[in-house]
Amino acid sequence: MGQKEIIDRDTYRKIKKMNREELTKFILRYGDQLLVEQGKTIDLSALEAELSKIKGIGGKRLEEIMVVIEKFFEE
């Protein structure tokens, strides 16, 4: 059974050259695009609750992460 190609070769090359911030933006845009195509939305409060369960992410860091995520939804 052949694997479905998710990204093309040019996109792969671009990703390899990205720094962490650029890659984060790319992933969020890509994920948002998939959600729009599927007609789904993200529940930010549920996302925040799940992120808070990750060991090492405290309240302050969680607030910073949520600010970044919300910023991308506003664009």
> What's the CA gap between 52 and 50, in Å, rounded?
5
In this predicted structure, what is the pLDDT of residue 75? 60
Residue 54 φ/ψ region, left for φ over 0, alpha for ψ in the -120 to 50 degree band, beta for the rest: beta
pLDDT in tens, the chain (75 residues): 456 677 788 988 998 998 988 888 888 888 778 777 777 677 788 888 988 998 988 889 999 998 888 887 776
By the 8 A CB rule, do 72 and 28 touch?
A: yes
Q: Are residues 51 and 62 in contact, defined by beta-carbon separation less than 8 angstroms?
A: yes
